[in-house]
C-alpha cells in the first residue's frame, strides 16, 4: 500500500505551477508598486495568539485549528490566517518605531481543519496585505484600489467588490442590541442554526442562506443606520474616494466577517463562478487588534486573497511551463557523449537545453523535441561526428542549417533567445 497525501492538503503539480507563479509575481509587482514590503513569518505560533485575535467563540478557534503540544508542553497551532502572526511580529520587533507607517504583505500556507470542498482545503494559500499606523479613510480606499487593480492585472473580471462598515466599539454594541431585540421577536421563524447562535453571533442571521431566515430578516435593522458620527464619516469618505478613483463597488449592509477583530470598513471580492465558496479575497479594518495583542494602540487594515480560488478562476487560462530552446537528438554512444558535453555547456550558459538520455530512434527523439516545444533541435549521428558538422533544425519552420559541432559558442549564439544574450 503506497502512502497517500493528507486529506485536504494538495500537491500543486508542475502543470499548474505556472498559474500559481503568475498570481504570485503579479501580486508582488502590484503590491510593490503600492509601497508594500514582504514579511515572512513562521507557519506555527503559540495557540494563544489566535485565540486572542480571531476570537474564542469563532468557528476557526472552536473547531478548525490544527493545535498540538510540542515536546516542552507548549500549545502550538498551525496558523489558520496571516494577520495575527504578522501583527505579533510587528509588535515584537517594534517595527512601528522604525517607521510609523507599516505596509506589509505576506504569502504562504494556512491551515484549517474543515471538510474540504471546491475552493476550500485544509492547507490553503493566502496572499495578504496589511497597513498599520494610519486611520485615514484614504488608506481604506488605497487597499481597495490595489485589490481592484490586482484583479485587473491578473485578468479576472468575474468578481464584484462589496463593502460594508461594522462600526466601532462605540456604536456596534448599540446595533447588536437592536438586532438581538429584532431577532428575538421572530425567533420561531429562524432556522435552527440561527436560533442556536443568535445570542453569540446575531449578525450571522443576516447572511443566512435559508429562505425562511432571509424573509424573517428582511426588515432587520442595518449596521449602517447605527454608525456613530465618526464611523459614518469614515465610511462615506471611503466611498467618495472609491468613486473618485473609479473603483466600482456595491454596499452590502448584510456582509458579515468571520473574525472578531474587524471594525469599521470590511469588504469582500465575490465571484459566482466558484460554487459556494464565493469569496476570493476579503478583509477589513482592525483598529483594536494590535493593542489587544499587547502592542501600542495602532489602527490597522488588511486583506487576504485565497490563492487556490484565484487559480481556479484562472484555470481556463492554461499557462504552460517555459519551453526549451534546443533539443539535442543523438544517435549512438559517441554522439550521445558529444551531445552531452554540448548540452551541459549550453545549460551552464543559461540556455534551456534538453536531450534524450536513452538510445531511442531519431523519430521518437524528434517527437519528444516537439512535445517539449523546443525552438531548435540538433541532430548528431555518425556522419555528423566524422564531418564535425550537424543539422540545426528550426522546429517552427523546418529549415535547417549546418553548424560546427565543436563550436559551442557558435551554437549558443544561434540558439539562445534574445533576452539571455
Partner RNA sequence: GUGGGUGUAGCUCAGUCGGUAGAGCACUGGAUUGUGGCUUCAGAUGUCGCGGGUUCAAGCCCCGUCACUCACCCCA
DSSP bridge pairs for 354: 327
Grid cell for residue 410: 557558435
Nearer to RNA, 56 or 233 (CB): 56
> Does 285 participate in binding RNA (rule CB under 7 A)?
no
Q: Interface with RNA by CB under 7 A: which range of 29-37, 257-265, 287-295, 318-326?
A: 257-265
Q: Which of 30, 366, 405, 412 binds RNA (CB under 7 A)?
A: 366
> Does 60 participate in binding RNA (rule CB under 7 A)?
yes
Please report, as residue ranges, which positions from 74 to 103 form the binding site for RNA (by CB under 7 A). Answer: 81
Q: Which of 39, 161, 179, 282 binds RNA (CB under 7 A)?
A: 282
Nearer to RNA, 62 or 177 (CB): 62
Nearer to RNA, 274 or 346 (CB): 274
> Does 268 participate in binding RNA (rule CB under 7 A)?
yes
Q: Interface with RNA by CB under 7 A: which range of 44-52, 231-239, 251-259, 409-417?
A: 251-259
Residue 111 Cβ vs RNA, minimum distance, rounded to whole Å: 9
Radius of gyration of the chain (CA): 28
Q: Interface with RNA by CB under 7 A: which range of 38-46, 85-93, 129-137, 393-401?
A: 393-401
> Does 348 participate in binding RNA (rule CB under 7 A)?
no
Please report, as residue ranges, which positions from 316 to 345 form the binding site for RNA (by CB under 7 A). Answer: 331
> Does 115 participate in binding RNA (rule CB under 7 A)?
yes
Please report, as residue ranges, which positions from 136 to 175 form the binding site for RNA (by CB under 7 A). Answer: none
Residue 83 Cβ vs RNA, minimum distance, rounded to whole Å: 9
Q: Interface with RNA by CB under 7 A: which range of 31-39, 180-188, 220-228, 253-261?
A: 253-261
Residue 337 Cβ vs RNA, minimum distance, rounded to whole Å: 15
d(CA 5, CA 122): 12
Q: Which of 52, 79, 88, 120 binds RNA (CB under 7 A)?
A: 120
> Does 382 participate in binding RNA (rule CB under 7 A)?
yes
Amino acid at each position: 500500500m503506497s502512502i497517500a497525501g493528507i486529506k485536504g492538503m494538495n500537491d500543486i503539480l508542475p502543470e499548474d505551477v505556472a498559474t500559481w507563479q503568475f498570481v504570485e509575481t503579479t501580486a508582488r509587482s502590484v503590491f510593490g508598486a503600492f509601497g508594500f514590503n514582504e514579511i515572512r513569518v513562521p507557519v506555527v505560533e503559540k495557540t494563544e495568539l489566535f485565540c486572542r485575535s480571531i476570537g474564542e467563540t469563532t468557528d476557526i478557534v472552536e473547531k478548525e485549528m490544527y493545535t498540538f503540544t510540542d515536546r516542552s508542553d507548549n500549545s502550538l497551532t498551525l496558523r489558520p490566517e496571516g494577520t495575527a502572526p504578522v501583527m505579533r511580529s510587528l509588535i515584537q520587533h517594534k517595527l512601528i518605531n522604525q517607521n510609523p507607517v507599516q505596509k506589509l504583505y505576506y504569502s504562504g500556507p494556512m491551515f484549517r481543519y474543515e471538510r474540504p470542498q471546491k475552493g476550500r482545503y485544509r492547507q490553503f494559500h493566502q496572499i495578504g496585505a496589511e497597513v498599520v499606523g494610519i486611520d485615514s479613510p484614504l488608506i481604506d480606499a488605497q487597499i481597495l484600489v490595489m485589490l481592484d487593480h490586482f484583479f485587473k492585472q491578473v485578468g479576472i473580471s468575474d468578481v464584484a467588490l462589496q463593502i460594508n462598515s461594522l462600526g466601532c466599539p462605540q456604536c456596534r454594541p448599540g446595533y447588536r442590541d437592536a438586532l438581538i431585540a429584532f431577532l428575538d421577536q421572530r425567533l420561531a421563524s429562524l432556522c435552527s442554526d440561527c436560533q442556536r447562535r443568535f445570542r453569540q453571533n446575531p449578525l450571522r442571521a443576516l447572511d443566512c442562506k435559508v429562505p425562511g431566515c432571509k424573509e424573517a430578516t428582511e426588515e432587520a435593522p442595518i449596521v449602517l443606520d447605527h454608525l456613530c458620527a465618526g464611523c459614518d464619516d469614515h465610511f462615506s469618505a471611503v466611498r467618495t474616494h472609491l468613486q473618485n478613483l473609479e473603483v466600482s463597488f456595491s454596499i452590502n449592509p448584510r456582509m458579515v466577517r468571520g473574525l472578531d477583530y474587524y471594525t469599521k470598513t470590511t469588504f469582500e471580492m465575490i465571484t459566482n463562478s466558484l460554487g459556494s465558496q464565493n469569496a476570493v479575497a476579503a478583509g477589513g479594518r482592525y483598529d483594536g487588534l494590535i493593542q489587544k495583542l499587547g502592542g501600542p494602540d495602532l489602527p490597522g487594515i488588511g486583506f487576504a486573497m485565497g490563492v487556490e480560488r484565484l487559480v481556479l478562476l484562472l484555470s481556463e487560462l492554461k499557462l504552460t511551463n517555459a519551453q526549451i530552446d534546443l533539443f539535442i537528438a543523438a544517435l549512438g554512444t559517441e554522439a550521445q557523449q558529444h551531445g552531452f558535453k554540448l548540452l551541459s555547456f549550453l545549460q551552464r550558459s543559461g540556455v534551456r537545453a534538453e536531450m534524450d538520455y536513452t538510445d531511442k530512434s531519431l523519430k521518437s527523439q524528434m517527437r519528444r523535441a516537439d512535445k517539449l516545444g523546443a525552438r531548435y533541435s540538433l541532430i548528431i549521428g555518425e556522419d555528423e561526428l566524422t564531418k564535425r558538422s550537424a543539422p540545426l533544425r528550426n522546429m517552427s519552420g523546418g529549415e535547417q542549417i549546418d553548424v560546427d559541432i565543436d563550436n559551442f559558442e557558435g551554437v549558443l549564439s544561434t540558439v539562445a533567445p534574445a533576452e539571455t544574450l
